[in-house]
Structure 1
């Protein structure tokens, strides 16, 4: 680092800008494909109803986070236009076109992505109630101030990315230490690969690894989340201590975090959470500058930073110092909040995940029948795109794409309300609603209306190697109870 210029972190800037833009591209694509059947004008939780409620009083407007749709009326067509515009801007940033201009051009592009996606997530209700939504928003806001190729990365913004990664990783580590005993006795990952929300193609193989390996996984996780985040800030010592060692220490810490996240990518589907963490970790990957003595700055420039740009980035830094006070308190609080925002703009948030690990996997299986008598009916199962269903099916690789319906299905056996969105979902199946059916992998009735539907709970366990060889199944399941139904359309 060279004062206001993070000259060692040009690679980090390139990965941050292009990687965050790529994640926005995926997020807008996910919304384009899923928002309308879930939250659109005829969605399971219609966003227009939420917006009408918010507009009914100033107090309610303040309860809703900022969204473009409070100023212009929501329509599904406008949602599509917003998603397409976001994807176009994000693609341009991935290619690097705005970065060829002055720093204000990529700034406007990233701020457009940030506010555009906030306009969607703010009305997304429970379908957008995931920590990686606010993580993407905060990362997009900070990426707006990374500058362009014409000047070195601003030191203050690179450090703010370290602070974001610190809150993400250290917050998750503290949630685990304060959470379930399984993280302290090193048994958490003996269950996690099997019971995680959406297993991937290699999750079963990971689950079948020996107990000593799972204990090693937990130890590695604790090192990655409780020790490495502090080393991310080692390069700051380079402002006073010459030589490449401080930068190298930060790079090693980033490499450990990246390696841990890649293992999670291989063994599960957590939307863009793991990929976002990997991208953020590259902010600490430094290549020590081997250039000669720095040339004198041209007028109105300090350390290669144009003075107006330096003022803008410094202002962001001061803003973050003020906004981060609640987040610092939360990290060291006995009642630590997980995935919490302390301001309407979702900046300087608290993060964390999996403070406890479920020991048993219960899945809700949705079935329908064309028979008149449900007691003697032959029931057929609806297939979901990501969540476990057919015991023979290999769990697919979905991430970094986000299947919102499938994710929320995981929460139903854990006590989530059935009336909020699941009952309307069953009603849509009875209507054979095409947009809703498009969210699924298979419709056993090929677009026809079933006579009855029901929801049945099963316990799922990964098949051991002998069972897999004998029966060709990946899961072994046993039926528990009927959760809802049989249900039919009224009248």
Structure 2
């Protein structure tokens, strides 16, 4: 139809393909993480059981298919359904049908994952959870291959990237002094929640380089997001800057799918013409053969676009507030949220090391052998190279990082230690290694260590990648029969 000419974004067909398949791929990772970890963390016998939440909560913070009851079998059904639907999107199958088909698939994915997040408690309390929910809803209205992408939804994705980047930039400027005096990246690579194989090398770079990192971050998050709304080469160049800065974060850290989904969303501002200039083999007129947009579909998309505009009032007000909230949802559906990360940077890395022993009594004699539990992602053994896990999310390891930051008394941590004393197989499967090969230790304790990366000279002399110094005991030796002390703390 002629009247929809302004509505059709013919130059953003590649952007649509990246958005739909990329968000679908990351949804697949999120559902896989849920399938592997939800039951030991939050299941019927988990560290924070969902049935207990449902019994004590007068209402959930948002909609969930588990509102009327939870079972581990039901959780598996939800996760597997999400995996199948996400895989179909990655393969491009719903996109081959009419526009209502990918719409339905993405909305079901959104509702399924929203159901999980809304009962996930602290294990799902990360900003990228609500970011994935919002992305699933937004890209649902991009339609199928039969008609051009709607420009209002493309712009809505730009608005999402703007809030994600500019919100994070403002959180930093309003946050710790280290972001204003350009010293934040002297500490971040070492103290970030989960370092990766390159983090130590990044940490050892010269101080002038770290200052340049901070300046580049401020430019990418405080200036560049405004340029996303300029169509054509300017918007494409702004998207390229966002993507390159996010790729550096991917190379140097493990932030689940946060950086990966930012790359996918930022690609929405790259035009087909820009892709053609970059890779001449890609045609510059991919979207010109699409059929005209049906009126009914334009009405559906415009209604969704209007909803996103109305919901934008609260995050805009938050961005302008001196008391800016970080990673906040303003409605129960997790749409048009506020984002941000690392308003302050931790200066010292404190790791909680959990140990067990088979000794009759946990005294300090040399005969008592304490064995350390190895986690999959968080630092432990001094010589071990940190692994690359992102975009996969290790939820237990991430929360272990938060424990020393004033949150040592967490109900889930006490239950976690109890599960280790019981040698619970599901809990042990969350770890990298069980030092007792399935046997139950008699005693468990937790100690705090200061970890820092070795210098190049120290690495050459010892082969260690970390140096650690004992800070103190945070959980005294505790057993199933006799508890060794009070609640974790210190």
TM tier, shorter chain?
A: over 0.9
Answering whether residue 74 of structure 2 is matched by residue 81 of structure 1, we say no
The reply on whether 1:168 has 2:147 as its aligned counterpart is no
SS of the aligned residue for 1:374 comes to coil
SS in 1 for 2:88: helix
Deviation readout 1:250-278 (Å, 9 max, x if unpaired): 00000000000000000000000000100
Q: Would the alpha carbon gap of residues 293 and 279 (structure 1) be closer, same or farther in structure 2, given more than 3 Å must change?
A: closer
Pairing partner for 1:398 from 389, 400, 409: 389
Distance 1:294 1:276, change over 3 A: closer
Q: CA deviation at 1:419?
A: 3.5
Structure 2: how far apart are the matches of 1:228 and 1:92?
34
Distance 1:28 1:139 in 2: 15
Equivalent residue for 1:479? 470
Give the superposition deviation at 1:418.
2.2
- For normalisation by structure 1, the TM-score amounts to 0.93
State whether structure 2 residue 91 is matched by structure 1 residue 100: no
> Which residue matches 2:49?
46
Q: 2:362 aligns with which of 374, 386, 408?
A: 374
Give yes or no for the alignment of 1:326 onto 2:314: yes
Aligned to 1:242: none
1:321 deviation in Å? 1.2
Aligned residue among 45, 50, 65 for 2:62: 65
Which residues in structure 2 correspond to 1:272-287 (within 5 Å)? 272-287=257-272
CA distance in 2, matches of 1:448, 1:293: 61
Counterpart secondary structure, 1:394: coil
**CA separation in 2, counterparts of 1:428 and 1:41?**
14
Tell me the distance in 2 between the aligned counterparts of 1:294 and 1:435. Answer: 53
Q: Distance in 2 between matches of 1:179 and 1:325?
A: 23
Determine the structure 2 residue equivalent to 1:16. Answer: 19
Alignment counterpart, residue 132 of structure 2, candidates 128, 132, 136:
136
Matched, 1:219 2:215: yes
1:442 aligned counterpart, secondary structure? coil
How far the C-alpha of 1:293 sits from its partner, in A, is 13
How far 1:378 moved relative to its partner?
A: 1.2
SS at match of 1:201: coil
1:121 maps onto 2:117 in alignment = yes
Query: How many residues align structurally?
Result: 467
| Whole-angstrom distance in 2 between the partners of 1:212 and 1:123 | 45
Distance in 1, matches of 2:122 and 2:334, equals: 16
420, 438, 442: which one aligns with 2:433 = 442
1:268 counterpart residue number = 253
Query: Aligned equivalents of 1:111 and 1:44: distance in 2?
Result: 30
What are structure 1's unaligned runs of at least 5 residues?
55-59, 236-246, 299-303
Partner Cα distance (2:66, 2:347) in 1: 41
Q: Deviations over 1:164-204 (max 9, x none)?
A: 00000000000000000110111000000000000000000
Judged with a 3 Å threshold, the aligned counterparts in structure 2 of structure 1 residues 365 and 292 are, in CA distance, closer, same or farther, namely closer
Between the aligned partners of 1:124 and 1:291, the Cα distance in structure 2 is: 44
254, 258, 262: which one aligns with 2:239: 254
- Once residues 74 and 449 of structure 1 are traced to their aligned partners in structure 2, the CA distance between those partners, rounded to angstroms, is 29
**Distance apart, 1:51 and its partner CA:** 1.3
Partner of 1:240: none
Residue 490 of structure 1, CA deviation: 2.7
Deviations 1:292-345 (A, max 9, x none): 9989x98xxxxx211111001100111111101010010111000000010000
Structure-2-length-normalised TM-score: 0.93
User: Which residue is 1:309 aligned to?
Assistant: 297
Q: Deviations over 1:126-182 (max 9, x none)?
A: 000000000000000011101000000001000000000000000000000000011
The 2-side partners of 1:273 and 1:419 are apart by 25
3-state SS of 1:366 partner: strand
Structure 1 Cα separation of the partners of residues 452 and 402 of structure 2: 17
Residue matched to 2:488? none
Which residue is equivalent to 2:457? 466
Deviation at 1:424, TM superposition (A): 0.5
SS of match in other structure, 2:7: coil
What CA distance in whole angstroms lies between the structure 2 residues aligned with 1:264 and 1:64? 32
Native 8 Å contact 2:148 2:287 kept in 1:
no
CA RMSD of aligned residues (A): 1.6
Shift of 1:420: 1.6
Deviation of 1:2 after TM superposition, in Å, equals 5.1
Instruction: State how far apart, in whole Å, the 2-side matches of 1:292 and 1:151 are.
Output: 11
Describe the SS at the equivalent of 1:78.
helix
**How far, CA to CA, are the matches of 2:32 and 2:264 in structure 1?**
19
For 2:182 and 2:222, the matched residues in 1 are separated by 15
What do the CA deviations read for 1:322-381 (whole angstroms, capped 9, x no partner)?
101010010111000000010000001000000000100000000000001211321010
Shift of 1:417: 4.3
The alignment status of 1:354 with 2:345, answered yes or no, reads no
Which position in structure 2 is the counterpart of 1:408?
Answer: 399
Deviation of 1:52 (Å): 2.0
Distance in 2 of aligned mates of 1:136 and 1:160: 15
**1:478 match: secondary structure:** strand
Asked if the contact 2:10–2:288 (Cα under 8 Å) also holds between the matched residues in 1, the reply is no
